[in-house]
Structure 1
């Protein structure tokens, strides 16, 4: 039962209920401008109780539930990079909502106001990721019967478009010049040339390339076995691939196979001379027996772009986009490309590379019309 009283100029409710152990408990809330508003709020609490809600969780705060959700479903199940992103989001939520804002008190309009503020000066993709993470958290809160609707649904995302994807891959002529330069200057001392060449010819992610062992290179079949990644950020060693579908075999051209043979021979000679044996048998370990970081390779790539006059600059991940753009331009089947990239489904490939596929469709349309005219 609920009692409604006036105190210090505003109205409050006090709802009594029995917890799971049969003990009487109370839910209180004050600050209502009218008796009717307090009565309606109390009636909603009673409805929730009769629907099976645990009223002890009624005052759970946004930050409190975020921490609980992370601990239950996320911590230890993702990479350190992803977990670092969750911590950043927590700081952003805390800065806006404070430590005491209850999850239940946030309305759809409240959330939209936050998104409008958060999106100012940020990329729309960043806003979308935060909204997606919080949506998953609120879905969990719905299952726990703390809230009964998800205030993040149908949110109008704000933020700028970010850098256009069509600026993130190389033209075919620049790809060839970069690859040829890397082949010509490849050495253990300049290991980045080998790594960049491998990125161009495989389209693999940096962590996948750097995580290759010589046992993953099948020279007879012309294959690379992608079955793990390397933690280049924190130096913890091998990690699982990004997704289960990222475990795959990538066919490599004969030129890259020859280049990798050359690297293996150089490594063997250098290790013999220094009396060194790599316990991990990594493909890409330099003459100082180090594994290059992603930032070091990006720095080297930018230097090569400057030397060759390649514009605009791309990162190592841009080599992956360049690889795809070239295959699409050559008419390679999108299903094969999706598998080669290790995407979990073709929809991801279609979404990420839709701008490239539009040009391919135009070319395919001409071929189709020519064939139909000849019928």
Structure 2
């Protein structure tokens, strides 16, 4: 079985004698800049090992991996991991015929997963690895998020054009770096004559929005000095496998964009409960329609989280994750701040809708 996605090319291989399967993965060379290929593979390997060591979350085990010099024809980094059974959760969540009982059963499993992820703490922001000699885990590299890859694809701008993202000791510095990136991305688009940036006041409005974002950092950078928490920017239903017969989640996959991040990302409601980007729903149908669709799912997920907390010792910490999630969405604008802090593609739509008109 061969499958090409945006970030990876995947090949399922089977041992004819044992019938055991493995998944051979390499970065998609047509999409992933060469300087990020090895970092992306290493990030996924370290995430799989960390979750395998420290949690009960089902993830593929790593058979072997290596840099380009050890890969096929020495062309690219590679990863061979356990093949995991199951179907994408996306179809299940999108199906209007899915019963509330089945949805709640799956949501409780997702709640336990998010609870375990939120307990994986580090003392700085960045990519992490394990010291093979001591067995200790620590942040040892810079952050790698999908935005850094997608900038090249959506805007045809090499990510090397921007100031390199480093490790950070406080959340404020991370968001300041992102604010600088947003401003530089806009100015680069203006200089290159990107479509949609007309001389009708639109560009100045966008500049004002980015300045406004920078001014809001002191208000929205929470838990500034940590601890920082394991967070996967690309965790969404099509990267979650489940058994449609038993309704059991069988694995999380495609975890290469996992970092130690400001905890507010991990303490947030899943934006993907509708299997659609919030900004896309708002653009196509308006905020009222988004709230009409999202809020019932939000309440169900929080109910599932509440059920989990009653029987899971990890959920007894204060404040509880369910309370943090509710505050992020209902009691503040942190949910929306986190969305504009993950995707430049969604920035203008959500900033104007939630934080101001950019004027």
User: Which bracket does the TM-score occupy, shorter chain normalised?
Assistant: under 0.3
Higher strand proportion: 2
Q: TM-score, normalised by structure 1?
A: 0.22
Q: Report which of the two structures shows the higher radius of gyration computed on alpha carbons.
A: 1
Q: TM-score, normalised by structure 2?
A: 0.23
Higher helix proportion: 1
